[in-house]
Structures are given as structure tokens and as C-alpha cells.
Amino acid sequence: MCGIVGIVGQAPVAPLIVDALKRLEYRGYDSAGVATLDKGKLDRRRAEGKLVNLERRLGDDPLGGTIGIGHTRWATHGVPNEANAHPHFAEDVAVVHNGIIENFSELRDELKADGVVFSSQTDTEVVAHLVARELKNGASAQDAAFEALKRLRGAFALAIMFRGEEDLIVGARNGPPLAVGHGDGEMYLGSDAIALAPFTNAITYLEDGDWVAVRRGGMEIFDMAGQPVERARQQSVGTSLLVDKGNHRHFMEKEIHEQPEMISHTLAHYLDFAGGTVADFALPFDFAKIERLAISACGTAYLAGLIGKYWLERYARLPVDIDIASEFRYREMPLPDNSAALFISQSGETADTLASLRYCRGEGIPITAIVNVRESTIARESDGIFPTLAGPEIGVASTKAFTCQLSVLAALTLKAAKARGTISAEEEKALVRQLSEAPRYASQALKLSSGIEKVARELSHVRHVLYLGRDTNYPLALEGALKLKEISYIHAEGYAAGELKHGPIALIDEQMPVIVIAPHDRIFEKTVSNMQEVAARGGRIVLVTDEKGARNATLDTLETIVLPDVPEFVAPIVYALPIQMLAYHTAVIMGTDVDQPRNLAKSVTVE
């Protein structure tokens, strides 16, 4: 989604803003722009496509000035062309915006009736004109921004700059995140702490309904009644981490390879390996006393939650309702008193997940979240958080966040099972030991690349792929299909293997590769029967299994990817890796933009 940067600085800011925008590229965007104020002149450069186009534009025609705002745009209203790129201008006002102004057409009609001529198709431009109108009516810059903000409905993070005000940027937040960075004689605004990492790690996060006047000497935050409010200054952890690709071609490749280490860090946070027990971490509810857990998330995080449901129900006998957050938020699910909610989100900013959280808040049940970004809104609004220790995830397609979410869910399963008395101390010890081996198995899985590349070459020639799995391999089949379509643009579908006969079998012919995820577990034989049905219809099978499975699946495959024999409980964590690698290698062969696939955003802050 869109990224925002603002700097009130000492040195020329345009190159610094571009540098900060590069750190927001991971969020997904399709055009970009910068505006500065230089000796009373408000000017901008904008370009369609990647930041390199904007840099070229700035190289040909530089912008001076020590105050400026910048933006990466993920198109919502209006195609991604230069005219729709931010910053948007209206007379003395420049605006960048992340989100959707829901009442923009009503405001645009009102402004048009006042004689305003619009130069873009965006919802954002109304904000610039509203502020400009207030200025013309004699308001100060700060008051003009405040008056305009009062007219807006919807989701927004905004940065506003004014000709004649060389020491002021106004920021505002209602929904999408916005952070203020504190420097020495310089101040910053950014969509997240990663954007501001080169400048400062002293960060203040705005809360919904806050707006801020940022000047070189400091900042003042106000609420929508115009009253000053205090928000804490924090040291951002994200800033201490170097966000680069290392020796890897893509962030996604790097993040896939980081998994053994990140899974290990995450598990170590929740388990006492030496004692063979789940660690003594705090919960805002008692697993022994709740009767239902409602899990809600989006995308890959939702699929992690789906695996969590299998685990929590099987090992802890705890009934789990799991929903896609965009459905949950509107379906008015009854939540009895003895239930609790768990939200899963890498970014901690996904609009639908946040809205679901707020629904549960309204219902008065305890709220917990598995998040990767600890300073995020979802983390701050939860009663208890379970951080994943995955480090910053930059590739749009989630990889290490997923396996770390699974690691937390596995630990929570043990915590719940222990509290509910459904596992003995010996069983707990055995499961903790199994989990402690997960990083080693994951390292072994990373060595499988040659067989996976061979399959990827096959996939790069096809239009459709089917993924099948049973039990926890069913969510993995969904995740495999999601990863493949996200980054290679090949149409892929994941199905519960048992559902094959109820529809997807009609699709099978010699052109259709079918990827079957089937470790040799309790229901391996059932999945083999489904593979026979595929083979009988000429379907080409790629079997992802273990050594025992490979020996027992006596049928011809296009390729069999053989993982180490791993205990059933940890299998989803390990089997996620070949699934990710398959999508990654297919996308690389096809030459797509692996880290920033078309139309996708990393942090989805609008619904």
C-alpha cells in the first residue's frame, strides 16, 4: 500500500526522501513522487512505475529545499499514471495520502460547485483543495489542515505541506499507520519506522484520530477536538536491523533461507528446550477456562491460523473458529463470554484484521495477537501479544513470517494442551523436543533446490496448477497455490485432497500438474488413493513427501521431492519451505518481479 515520507530538515531533502521511499518499496506501489519547498517555491517530480523512474526525473531536473514530502502510490482511485501520482497540489498546498477518503465524491462535487478544477482522478486531491480553500478564507496553515481533516471520512494517513511555511508539515492518522521520527534539529514523518531508519530510531506513533504539527524543533500532537495529546516516544527495534538482500537475488530468497534461524529464535522465546516444557509466558485469559477461540487473519497469516486450528483442536481439544478477517468483521459472529480472540498479522496493520479485532473489543472478549511488528496498531490494541521473531519481512509474499507464526501457534497449542490437561508431562516433553528439531529439518529442506528447480521449469510452461493435501497439508496446499499465483501469476488452486472428486477432478488432463503434499502420516494412504485418481486421468503428479512416503507411493510421478522424515506435529513448518521454494524458482524462471509482484501490497491498510 502507499508509503508516506516527510522531512523538515537541514540539508536538501529530495535525495533523503527517495532513500526513505526505497525502504517503503516493499509495501507495493505503482508510481511515486516528491515535493519540496525551496525558497518559497513549491515544486514536485512524479513518475509512473518504479522509483528508478522518479530518480531519473530528479536527476534530469533536481529539486532543492530542506523541507519536503514523498509518496509511493498503490492505486485505488484512478489508474497509476503521473497525473494521479502524489503529491497532489492545490494552490499553496501539497498533500500525500495513504488510504481511501470515502466521502471524496461528495466533497469533490462541493468543491467543483465552488469552481475548483481537478487535475487527477484521485480521492486525495480533494484534501489539497479543502486545505487550500481554508487558507484562502484566512486560516493559518495549521488551522486550515485541521478544518479540512474534520471534513474527511474514511481511512487516511496524510502529510500536508504549505507554501510560505518552510518549517511545518502537518500529519494525520485515521487508520493507516503514521510515525513521527525525532532527529537533531530535524523531524520526520513516515509510514513506518523502517522508512525512517537511516535518520532516527526515536519514534512516536500517532493513534487514530491524531494529527500532528511537525517542525524542525519538535512536534505537537492534537486530537480531533483540537486538544493537545501526549504520545510516548519509543526506540524502534526495526531500525537496528539492516534491511538488505545480503548475497541473495531477492528479499524473498533471503527470507526463505533465514527461516531455520528465525524459527529457532521464535521457538526459543516460547519453549524451554532444556526443561522440555512450554515457557511460562503470560496470557490475558486462561486456556483451561475458555470454551472457544476465534482466530481471524488475512492471506498467508489466515492459512497459518488454519493450521493452528487443526493443532489446537487435536492436541488441546479446544474448539476454534477461524475466519478470513474481511468476512469476520461483517458477519456479526456471536462471541460468548467464555471465548477469546486471536489475530494473526505479520504487519499488524492489515485493515480487515484490525477491524475484526475492534469488533471483538466491542464484544468484550480477551484479545491476543501474533504479530511480527511489535509497535503495530494490532499489537498496541491487543490485551496480549505473541511476537514472531522473524525480523523485518520485505518480500511481498510472506515466507519466514508464516513459519514463525506456525512456530508460535505450535507453542500456544502446547500451552493450551497443558492448561486443559490434554497432554501429559511426557507428551509435552516429546512435542517440545520435536519442535526443537524443526530448525534443523528446515535447514535440510533448503538443500532440496535442484529437484525443486526441475519442477519449477515444468511449472513455468503451464497455465494452471492444482495443489492437494489432507489435514494440516490442506492449508499448506492453499498456501502453495497462493504463493505460486502471487509471484508467478500462474493460476493455482489448493484443495483438500478428499474434495478432488467433488469438482476439481474435472480439470485434470495431461496439461495439469498436480502437486500433492503428503508426508507419510496417519492418512497418507488416503492421499495416495487420490493420487491414483489423478494418475488414472493422465494428470502429472509432483509428490512432496518424506523417505517413507516416497517408498510407499508406488506410482509414476513427474518428480518426487523427498524431505527428511519429520514428526507429524512439526511437518507443516518444514513442508512450508519446499512449497515456497517452488513458487520462488518458478517466478525467477518466468522473470516476474518476485519481491514486488504486480498489483500486490505488503501491508494492506485499506479494506
Q: Comparing C-alpha atoms, which of 305, 487, 478, 304 is closest to residue 395?
A: 487
* Minimal distance, residue 596 CB to ligand G6P, in Å: 10
> Which CB atom, from 204 or from 346, has the smaller least distance to ligand G6P?
346
* C-alpha torsion angle, residues 401, 402, 407, 411 (rounded to 10): 100
Q: What is the Cα 367 distance to its own chain's centre? A: 20
* Minimal distance, residue 113 CB to ligand G6P, in Å: 39
Residue 605: C-alpha distances to residues 157, 178, 359, 378, 538 (Å) = 10, 11, 17, 12, 44
Residue ranges binding ligand G6P (CB under 6 A): 298-301, 345-347, 350, 353, 396-398, 600, 602-604
Active-site hit among 309, 483, 485, 602: 602
Q: Provide the 8-state DSSP code for 41.
A: E
Q: Which helix (H) or strand (E) covers residue 67, if one does?
A: strand 67-73
Distance (Å, rounded) from C-alpha 471 to C-alpha 473?
Answer: 5
For cell 495443489, what's the residue?
A: 467
> Which CB atom, from 486 or from 493, has the smaller least distance to ligand G6P?
486
Distance (Å, rounded) from C-alpha 209 to C-alpha 394?
Answer: 28
Distance (Å, rounded) from C-alpha 356 to C-alpha 353?
Answer: 5
Distance (Å, rounded) from C-alpha 23 to C-alpha 89?
Answer: 25
Own/partner pairs, 12-16, CB within 8 angstroms, 24+ separation: 12/63, 12/64, 12/65, 12/66, 13/65, 13/66, 13/67, 13/68, 14/45, 14/58, 14/62, 14/63, 14/64, 14/65, 14/68, 15/58, 16/198, 16/199
* Minimal distance, residue 602 CB to ligand G6P, in Å: 5
For residue 507, the SS3 value is: helix
> Which CB atom, from 33 or from 299, has the smaller least distance to ligand G6P?
299
* Minimal distance, residue 156 CB to ligand G6P, in Å: 19
> For the chain, how long is the longest CA-to-CA vector?
82
Q: Provide the 8-state DSSP code for 27.
A: G
* Cα 459-261-425 angle, rounded to 5 deg: 110
> Which CB atom, from 26 or from 524, has the smaller least distance to ligand G6P?
26
**Termini Cα distance of the chain:** 11
> Which CB atom, from 36 or from 388, has the smaller least distance to ligand G6P?
388
* Minimal distance, residue 91 CB to ligand G6P, in Å: 37
For residue 551, the SS3 value is: helix
> Which CB atom, from 45 or from 483, has the smaller least distance to ligand G6P?
483
* Minimal distance, residue 224 CB to ligand G6P, in Å: 27
> Which CB atom, from 345 or from 413, has the smaller least distance to ligand G6P?
345
For residue 212, the SS3 value is: strand
Where residue 48 falls (left for φ over 0; alpha for ψ -120 to 50; beta otherwise) is beta
For ligand G6P, the nearest residue by Cβ is: 299
Beta bridge partner(s), residue 320: 293
Residue 2 among the catalytic residues: yes
> Which CB atom, from 396 or from 531, has the smaller least distance to ligand G6P?
396
Active-site hit among 2, 298, 360, 404: 2
Residue 602 among the catalytic residues: yes
* Minimal distance, residue 468 CB to ligand G6P, in Å: 22
Q: Which helix (H) or strand (E) covers residue 430, if one does?
A: helix 425-436
* Minimal distance, residue 538 CB to ligand G6P, in Å: 34
Q: Tell me the catalytic residues.
A: 2, 602
